Structures are given as structure tokens and as C-alpha cells.
Chains A and B, each alone.
Chain A
Amino acid sequence: MQPAIFAQGIGKGFRTGLWGPVKQVLRQVDLTVAPGAIFGVLGPNGAGKTTLISILATLLLPDTGRAEVLGLDVVRQAARLKARINLAASGAHFLWCMTVTDSLRFYGRLYGLGGRALTDKVEKLLDLFGLAEHRTVTFERLSTGLKQRLALAKALINDPELLFLDEPTSGLDQEMAHHIRQEIVRLNRETGVTMLLTTHNLREAEMLCTEVAFLKGGQLISEGRIPDLQRRLGLGDHLGLIFQDSPAPLDYDRLPGVLHHTVQDSRVDLVLDRVDERLPAILEVVYATGTKLAKVVVKPVDLEEIYHEITH
């Protein structure tokens, strides 16, 4: 199957000032994204996330390498590609004096929509994002959350096959961020649209993304599905066994799936390859020793640990 995004050796630098040195922002980035995925590009500020997304979204020309999005070259076939993609970015910005409807109609026309088709599309998006009651409000009077919802609505005006989301919940309160994340998942599920999302919020990536890539200093340092990354890095889920008295007399390292363990007083902490698969067998072995358990604590490995392991 043709990947939704295929990039090879992408490099980009920016000159500081007129004659200043070139600061390299991206170095030899390779990336493959499957159709229908929500792919997260993670990294700290200045890692090159926005530069990468901008190149793939035809807003910036790469210095080196080549990239194809939906099978079209982002440089040579940009005009054709633009009709099939769209972008929603953090800190939504549209013309201050245009109402919600004006903005959607304006962007709809930029994609060649007009007449009944445009009106129907705008009405559908107003309903979908709960903007109908704010349709006559000018952009400058909208709350931050509503502006972000409008940005997402605008990004769907052309029914894109691939959507770029550049830190879509940045600056939003918890409730609104949660709502936007739900919308993203729903859209992906219902329409099958591929999404490339940049964020430095690891929890968000964990909630949304099927695959992630880590960028640091303009280089892609790791890429894959979260469980695969976990395995590749030797990171495991945590299982805490808290006994009523002393711990069960077991050789914990020989238990199935245990990567390593520590014992402190009546508590044994195990690091497992997959806690969901191994838990029943381990508990069975523990119960067989006749030792009484007071508490079992399960903590699957999270993206933050993976991120920490990769970046340090």
C-alpha cells in the first residue's frame, strides 16, 4: 500500500540575517506514515517539528531530500497536492473582522467551492463543531476555544485526505483540549483521514497517536508504534506487589516476562515486557507460595519514559 507520507533525507536550514550563518533546522529526516494513521511528531521546542510539517504541507521548500504526500511530490506537484490536504495550527489566526461564516466561506472558495455546495459544507461544519450559534460573531470576539474549533472546521472545508495538525491544543484549557482531542479521534475514525500531528504534549500523543517519531536537534532519533518503541528500548511496564508481611520467596527474575526487579521491605517492583499479558501468570505463581498480597499496583510504561530514554 502506498504510504500517505514518504520523506527521505529532508534537510532545511535558515540563514540568520542577510549574510549570517545558516542554522540547520532539519537534518536528513526520513519518515513514512501509513494511510489512515494519526502520526505524532514529538520533540522539544526548536526540534524542527513545525519546519517538517511545513515542508510536507507545501509551505516551505526543503534544501535537500524529497518528500511525497499522497503520492505527489511536495515541490513539483504542490499545486495538485494542496487541493487534497489542509492544516490546523495552534493559536488560530484568521482575519479579525470576518465572522465565523465569512471565514469558512472565504476558505471554502479558495478550494473552488461555491453556490449550494459551499453553503451546505459551511452549515455542516458549523453544526459539527458547535459553531452555529456563533456564526455571526467576528473572529476577534471569539474565545480561544472557539477560535481553535473554527481552525479545525476550516481545516475540513475541502474534505482533506491528509490533515496537518500543528500543536492543535496548545494554549487551550483542559476541558477544551479534551474536546478537541475527542474531535480528532472521531474524525480519524469516521472519515479515515490521515493526520500528522506535532506536539510536545506526550500525554496527548499517547492518547491520539498510533505511531510517533521523535525529533531532537533537527534529527529524527526514533520512530514507530509506541509498544514497538518500548520493546526496542527495553522499557517495560511496572508491576508493584505489596505483601502483607515479607515478600514471597521467589526468584523474580525467572518469572515470565520480567526484565528486572527490586525489593524493598514488603514491596517488590517488577518491570515487565507486557503487564496485561503477564499479570495473571505472575499472580498465580505468587498465590501458590501462600504469601498474602496487600496490594497490586499496575503502571504501564508511558510515552514520557520512552521520550526520556530516547532524548537522554
Chain B
Amino acid sequence: MKLRTNLNKIWAFSTRSALVNRRNVFAIFEMVFWPLIGVFSVGLLTRFLSLEGETVAFILIGAVTMNTVQIAQLDLSYALLYSVWSKSLKHEFIAPVRLSHILVGSGLVGLVRGLVVFVLMGCLSVYFFDMDLGRPGLAGLSLFLLGLFLNAAIIGALVLALVLRFGQRAEVAAWAFSYLMLLLCGLYYPVSVLPRGAQFLAQIIPLTYFLDYFRNFYGFPLMSRHPLLYGFSQTVVYLFISYGLVCLTLKSAYRRGTLLRLSD
């Protein structure tokens, strides 16, 4: 009974996210247009620079990663922004819902949308730029995708914390956060080309290790000996930290009256 009640609460946020995506032309635009632009602009650039097979794969993996993470984190980031935009935040928080219901419910839709983007971009990369997406095998692909989605969840949770603290002004953070992270984790280049200080920052970003792990299947040497171990350990730590941060900002929002201010 309690499980069913909790599942209904999670399902509430999933269906709401799905509805908004279905009825909002820009959401479809986000899922199709930008990934298309991403894969073709990067793919054609590799052609212009006459890059060889493995190097093309290196760069296309970056493009696919960027778009997948961006789209997957959006639903989580928007979970509260939808309520802020519609000024209905107090109606959500007067109900007996927990943060976990919001995060899991909205995150599920983000996962599905991220998966669609990954598949779409992967197929385009295979068809137009001869990328061998199947080379890492099902296990390799699954672990890489899991890493991407968990990193998207970290970004989404941090944006949620910012929304609860700063309201609508945090909207821009939904994009800025992921771009900053993607810049540092060696999206289109090896981390070794970054300045020394930035290289250190790259080492504390789990996405760096997942990219390292995946690109190794295409013949690029491993930067770290155990990329999955480092990647997943850091991810778990960051997930705990970001969840804790959202809980703290929610508590502060109850004290400071942010929930009411964002509903006016």
C-alpha cells in the first residue's frame, strides 16, 4: 500500500514532465534539433579537417555525450522550474511529497529523453560518419550511459538547489552548469591539453573518467588506471552532496518563505 502510494507520487511528476514535453514544441525542438545540429556540425568539421576514423569517433563521442547529458539533466532541473513558472509551488509542497518523489519522477523522463537523444545521435554518427558505436559492446555502452545519466542527475539536483535558493534567476544555471562541466572534462580534446589548474579540476569531475573509459574502446590510452572505479565513486559522493544540498535549500526555503515568494 505504502509502495503504491509512493509510486503514484513519483508517477505524478513523471506524467507532468512527459505532458509538458509532449505539449511544448520547444521540448521536441530540444530533443531533435540541437542533437542534429550537434552531430552534423562536429561531424562535418572532422571531414573538413580530414580527420581519421578513431579521431572522428573521439570527437563524435564528445558531441553525443554533451547533448545526452544536457537533455537528461533538463527534466530534473525543470522539475521545480515548471512550478515556479506556473506559480504553483506552494500547491506541490503542501502535498505530502518528498524530494525523492520529485527527483525520481522527473529524472525518469530525463532518462528516457536522454536515451532518445543518445540513440538518435548514435544512429546519425554511424550512418553519416561511419562511427562504430557498437565497438564497446552492450556492457561498455550500458556502463557509459549509466555514467552519463548519473552525471546528469548531479547537475539537475544542483540546479534544483539553486532554484530553491534563487528562484527563476537560477534558470540560466540549468545550462551554464553543464557547459562548465563539459568544458573541463575533455569533451572534444584530451584532458592533457588543458592548462594545469584545469587538469586538476577535470580529475574531480566524474564525467572525465566515463569519457576516458569509453574512448579507450577506440584505441585511446587510458588516462587513469581504473576509470570506472574513479568515475562511479566520485559520482556516488557527488550524488550524496547534491541531494544533501537540495534538502538544505528546501529547509531554508521553508524558513525564508521562498516557497511562498515563488508562488506569488
Residues of A within 8 A of B (CB): 14-15, 50-51, 54, 57-61, 79-80, 82-83, 85-87, 89, 93-98, 102, 105-107, 109-114, 118, 138-139, 154, 158
Question: A54 to B9, Cβ gap below 8 A?
Answer: no
22 sampled A-B residue pairs with Cβ under 8 A: A80-B96, A86-B94, A87-B91, A87-B94, A89-B90, A89-B263, A94-B86, A94-B88, A95-B83, A96-B86, A97-B20, A98-B16, A98-B19, A106-B15, A107-B95, A109-B8, A109-B9, A109-B11, A109-B15, A110-B12, A112-B5, A114-B11
A54: chain B residues at CB < 8 Å are 90, 257, 260
Complex Cα distance, B259 from A133, in Å, reads 33
Residues of B within 8 A of A (CB): 4-9, 11-12, 15-16, 19-20, 23-24, 82-83, 85-88, 90-98, 254-257, 259-260, 263
Of the residues B9, B15, B16, B260, contact of A59 by C-beta under 8 Å? B260
B9: chain A residues at CB < 8 Å are 109-110, 112
Question: B97 to A110, Cβ gap below 8 A?
Answer: yes
Question: B20 to A59, Cβ gap below 8 A?
Answer: no
A60: chain B residues at CB < 8 Å are 254-255, 257, 259-260
Question: B87 to A93, Cβ gap below 8 A?
Answer: yes
Question: B260 to A97, Cβ gap below 8 A?
Answer: no
Of the residues B19, B85, B87, B92, contact of A102 by C-beta under 8 Å? B19
Complex Cα distance, B94 from A174, in Å, reads 29
Complex Cα distance, B2 from A83, in Å, reads 13
Complex Cα distance, B92 from A15, in Å, reads 25
Given the contacts A54-B260, A94-B88, A102-B19, A109 and B94 also touching, CB distance less than 8 Å: no
Complex Cα distance, B20 from A102, in Å, reads 11
Q: Which residue of chain B is the closest to A50 with respect to CB atoms? A: B260
Complex Cα distance, B83 from A97, in Å, reads 12
Of the residues A94, A98, A110, A114, contact of B95 by C-beta under 8 Å? A110
Q: Which residue of chain A is the closest to B12 with respect to CB atoms? A: A109
Distance in angstroms from B30 CB to nearest chain A CB is 15
Of the residues B16, B93, B96, B260, contact of A106 by C-beta under 8 Å? B16
Complex Cα distance, B88 from A96, in Å, reads 10
Given the contacts A110-B12, A114-B11, A95 and B82 also touching, CB distance less than 8 Å: yes
A79: chain B residues at CB < 8 Å are 96, 98
B97: chain A residues at CB < 8 Å are 110
Q: Which residue of chain A is the closest to B263 with respect to CB atoms? A: A93
Q: Which residue of chain A is the closest to B14 with respect to CB atoms? A: A109
Question: A57 to B94, Cβ gap below 8 A?
Answer: yes
Question: B96 to A61, Cβ gap below 8 A?
Answer: no
19 additional contacts (CB under 8 A) given A60-B259, A60-B260, A107-B12: A14-B256, A15-B256, A50-B260, A59-B90, A61-B254, A83-B96, A85-B94, A93-B88, A93-B91, A97-B19, A97-B23, A97-B24, A109-B9, A109-B11, A110-B9, A112-B9, A114-B4, A114-B7, A114-B8
Q: Which residue of chain B is the closest to A83 with respect to CB atoms? A: B96
A139: chain B residues at CB < 8 Å are 86
Question: A95 to B20, Cβ gap below 8 A?
Answer: yes
B90: chain A residues at CB < 8 Å are 54, 59, 87, 89
Question: A111 to B96, Cβ gap below 8 A?
Answer: yes
| In the A-B complex, the 3 residue pairs with the closest CB atoms | A109-B12, A112-B5, A93-B87
Interface centre among A57, A86, A93, A114, by most B CB within 10 Å?
A93
